[in-house]
Structure 1
Amino acid sequence: MTRQTSRQLFTFAVIGVVNTGTYYCAYLPLLTRIPYLVAHILATAISLTGSFFLNARFTYRTRPTLRKFLLFPLTNAANFVITTAGVYVLVDLLHLSSRWAPLLASLGAIPVTFVVSRRIMLPKADRAQIA
């Protein structure tokens, strides 16, 4: 792993912590008014928007374009599936608190999200140079 890739991974992780905080700050108030899965979906959409702009600026140092913004949700498709399934399993099958389940479920999705986001945010030539 190159130094630049290591920097990107570190920055991605820091932004992931910020994103998780954003998600959770949106999820908890929504949870008091709507079912947990709907709250999860809405909180994910809110944090996804922030994630795009923060990662474009700080992780990949690339200009945020409409094309990248429209493709960026694909970076979180795997994250969304993993966390949504995880939240369901943790809450409905394992009977853990719906307040804490999203945090636990998100841990399994981090590596997949980083790999997919690099593919969308960086041109192929840039990925090859810093791999």
Structure 2
Amino acid sequence: MTVRGQIVRFALVGGVNTGTYYGLYLALLTFLPYVAAHVVAFLLSMVGSFFLTSYFTYRTRPTWRKFLLFPLTNAANFVVTTCGVYVLVDVLRLERTYAPLVAAAAAIPVTFVVSRLVMLGPDRAAESAPETERNPVG
């Protein structure tokens, strides 16, 4: 399993997860307030994303430990995008309507690394990395 293949599958799962979230959100809006619809859609799509990430992206067996750690990938994404939006808008003066898109793109590599660590563990994540990624100094 190559890192490049994992990145492609990670991006595909992200697209499916976004579509799933949005479809659920729209469906739930018919009978829930928008904040409740957002929270329920977010949680349900995160569960689906966990299983897709486990089986499809990293081809690993899902466990309760991984399931409980999986929200860390979303937390990492949230921190990077939130800080990114602030820096882009308040420091670099980028238009606030575009800043979240740039910040989200910047968060993808961080989210991928956290996702690999959660799903494969530190030892397996390092094993499957190319030699230059495992030993960048030597």
TM over 0.5: yes
1:16 aligns with 2:10: no
Q: Which runs of 4+ in 1 moved over 6 A?
A: 83-86
2:23 maps to: 25
AA of the residue aligned to 2:33:
I
Q: TM-score, normalised by structure 1?
A: 0.72
Counterpart amino acid of residue 44 in structure 1: F
Q: Partner residue of 1:50? A: 48
Partners in 2 of 1:38 and 1:112 — Cα distance?
Answer: 28
Give, in whole Å, the separation in 2 of the partners of 1:83 and 1:20.
16
Distance verdict in 2 for CA 1:47–1:107, change over 3 Å: farther
Question: Which deviations, in whole Å up to 9, do the C-alpha atoms of 1:1-53 show, x marking residues without a partner?
Answer: xx700000000101111101101101223345413x44332221111000100
Counterpart AA for 1:118: R
Identity of aligned residues (%): 57
Q: Considering only aligned residues, what root-mean-square deviation do their CA atoms show, in Å?
A: 3.0
What does the per-residue CA deviation read over 1:77-97, in whole Å, with 9 as the maximum and x for residues that have no partner?
Answer: 1234566897xxxxxxx6x7x
- Tell me the equivalent position of 1:89: none
Give TM-score, length-normalised by structure 2. Answer: 0.69
The 1:12/1:109 distance shift into structure 2, 3 A limit, reads same
Residues 1-131 of structure 1 aligned to structure 2 (within 5 Å): 4-32=2-30, 33-35=32-34, 37-81=35-79, 104=101, 106-131=104-129
Pair 1:55–1:22, CA change in 2 (3 A): same
Aligned CA distance change for structure 1 residues 8 and 75 (closer, same or farther; 3 Å): same
- Please report how far the alpha carbon of residue 123 of structure 1 lies from its aligned counterpart in structure 2 after TM superposition: 2.2
Question: Gaps (5+ residues) in structure 1?
Answer: 87-93
* SS state at 1:61 partner: coil
Partners of 2:26 and 2:82 in 1: CA distance: 16
In structure 2, the residue matched to 1:91 is none
Q: Radius of gyration: which is bigger?
A: 2
Which residue is equivalent to 1:90?
Answer: none
Q: Which runs of 5+ in 2 are unaligned?
A: 86-95, 130-138
